[in-house]
Amino acid sequence: MTEVKGKKVVVLGAGKSGAAAAKLALSLEASGVVLSDIKPKEKLSEEALLLEGNGIKLETGGHSNETILDSDVIIMSPGIPVSGSWYEMAVRHNKDIIGEIEFACGYTDAVIIAVTGTNGKTTAATLAAEILKKGARGKKTALAGNIGIPFSDVVMKKNRYDYIVLELSSFQLETIREFRPHIAVILNITEDHLDRYSSMQEYAEAKARIFRNQKDTDYLILNAGDRFTNIMSPMSDSYKVLFSAFEVLPDGYYFNNGSFYKNVFGEEKKVFSDEGIKLKGLHNYENIMACLIIADILGVDTAVSEKIIKEFAGLPHRMEYIGSAGGKRFYNDSKATNVDAAVKAVSSFSEKTAVIIGGREKGTDFTPLYDALGENVKLVIALGENASGVEEIFSRKTKVVRVDSMDEAVEAGLEADVEVVLLAPACASFDMFKSYSHRGDVFKKNVLKAAKNEQSS
């Protein structure tokens, strides 16, 4: 636990996590709290601005030397890199530097279930929380973390939670010290954020921090098919449970021939079939199995878990079915901001498909996506600042059309001789949109507009 009572606290980054950490520090009787951000004041959220004058000082336009030197504890928001002149100065002067997750974890007695992975962590964390909220009788469950609900906000609530499910990014894991989840999940580790990390090894090491403090009474849930699992498994003292959607496991949970199985403690048992499951794609079956393992560890009745899983329709912008127009089915997977996520999305369809690809790259190698395009992919629609690069790469395999806007992309999909139009950009959205959700919303708006025009004509 990082004690802040009577200390001067500086929180770097005035987004949701930073604002929540500042409020928590104030409630814990810090002698002073500064919320510092590199953005000018007019660019800050209303939530951050409202903190000024309520015991919290706002610093905008950068993290000043004076603020860093005058602090006792520095709490970093996830988006702040663990580098730069402020960091070097803080280290030289032996400042106590932690992240928002590390800070908040010291002020809760709840059992922590922590979920990370390059892809699928929001879906898995949300589904796990739903199962525990409805299936763990007499227990209160909260969902927080990278999903957009700060851990610090949950800790400050008067409700005492028995379980807290945390979705954690590699950025959030970089700054943990004593954080120890009872159940840790690593869904997968594939190429992403290489604009922040110097190598895949460095990125994987950040993810691996999720289990660094676990003991042999804790659990680590791993994907049997991930290339880092065999490396990470011996590094942890916790009890490991494996899952796979692609192979029968001699020990673990797996999917085979339309059903989920668990083969643990020398006993193989069919859990339930996939009939009625709304989540599309084997990658989502991996998420389901991770949640099944969590539910079993915490004693949730299997029949209850099955019901909740089969009722779960998924989240916006993640293989989200939008509707039909022009005889095509449109799917929104705007959250596919990296190549691996796009590969999984494209691989979910066998019908004739058009795929919208492009945006802002993050040190992207498109080779796995190129290799994953089957003969059913009849068209790539190149959109975004790297559209020319997308065209150059994928035109060697299939037809490519370049467009300048999302409405043109949807129009190209409508004109194509396909059954499915899929938005799976494999890139970040910030070249043309505020976020991946904004990109997905614009896609949906154009699809629904086309469907409405079709009905009225």
pLDDT digits 0-9 by tens, 401-441: 999 999 999 999 999 999 999 999 999 999 999 999 999 99
Task: Name the nearest CA neighbour of 443 among 400, 408, 402, 394.
Answer: 408
Question: What is the DSSP annotation of 42-88?
Answer: GGS-HHHHHHBTTTEEEE-SS--HHHHHT-SEEEE-TTS-S-SHHHH
Burial 253-268 (b: 16+ CB within 10 A, else e): bbbeeeebbbbbeeee
Positive or negative torsion for Cα 283, 289, 291, 294: negative
Average pLDDT over residues 354-364: 91
Q: End-to-end CA distance of the chain, in Å?
A: 64
Average pLDDT over residues 43-67: 94
Kindly report which listed range (51-55, 323-327, 369-373, 384-388) carries the lowest average pLDDT score. Answer: 51-55
pLDDT band at 387 (very low <50, low <70, confident <90, very high): very high
Instruction: From residue 45, give the alpha-carbon distance in Å to each of 26, 110, 231, 439.
Output: 19, 30, 42, 21
pLDDT at 364: 82
Query: pLDDT (tens digit, 9 = 90+) per residue, 134-158?
Result: 999 999 999 999 999 999 999 999 8
Taking residues 254-270, what's their average pLDDT? 96
Helix (H) or strand (E) holding 33: strand 32-36
Please name the helix (run of DSSP H) or strand (run of DSSP E) that holds residue 309, with its range, or none. Answer: helix 302-311
8-state DSSP, 407? H
pLDDT in tens, 163-189: 999 999 999 999 999 999 999 999 999
Would you say residue 360 has pLDDT above 80? yes
Tokens matching residue 440 = 């997905």
Q: What is the pLDDT of residue 390?
A: 97
Q: What is the pLDDT of residue 188?
A: 97
Element (DSSP H or E) covering residue 113: strand 111-116
User: With bands split at pLDDT 50, 70 and 90, how would you rate the model's confidence at 28?
Assistant: very high
The mean per-residue pLDDT over the stretch 96-120 comes to 97
Whole-angstrom distance, CA of residue 119 vs CA of residue 99? 22
**Rounded to whole angstroms, how far apart are CA atoms 158 and 233?**
37
Nearest CA among 242, 238, 267 for reference residue 252? 242
What's the whole-number average pLDDT of the chain? 96
Residue 192 has pLDDT above 90, yes or no: no
The per-residue pLDDT for 193 is 79
Q: Report residue 383 CA to chain centroid gap.
A: 23
**What is the spatial distance between Cα 373 and Cα 254, in angstroms, rounded to a whole number?**
26
The predicted-structure confidence for 59-98, as pLDDT tens digits, reads as follows 999 999 999 999 999 999 998 989 999 999 999 999 999 9
**What is the pLDDT averaged over residues 99-128?**
97
| Nearest partner of 149 among 80, 101, 98, 183, judged by Cα | 101
What are the structure tokens assigned to 140, written together? Answer: 């209160």
Angle between helices 436-456 and 406-415 (to 10 degrees): 50
What is the mean predicted confidence (pLDDT) over 96-122?
A: 97
Question: How much is the pLDDT for 175?
Answer: 95
pLDDT digits (tens, 9 = 90+) for 291-343: 999 999 999 999 999 999 999 999 999 999 999 999 999 999 999 999 999 99
Q: What angle do CA 199, 122, 23 make, to 5 degrees?
A: 95
Looking at residue 412, its pLDDT comes to 98
Burial 230-240 (b: 16+ CB within 10 A, else e): eebeeebebeb
Element (H, E) at 272: strand 267-273
DSSP-assigned beta bridge partners for residue 423: 332, 356
Residue 53 is predicted with a pLDDT of 82
**Domains of the chain by start residue, with CATH:** 8-100 (3.40.50.720), 108-311 (3.40.1190.10), 320-456 (3.90.190.20)
Residue 381 has pLDDT above 80, yes or no: yes
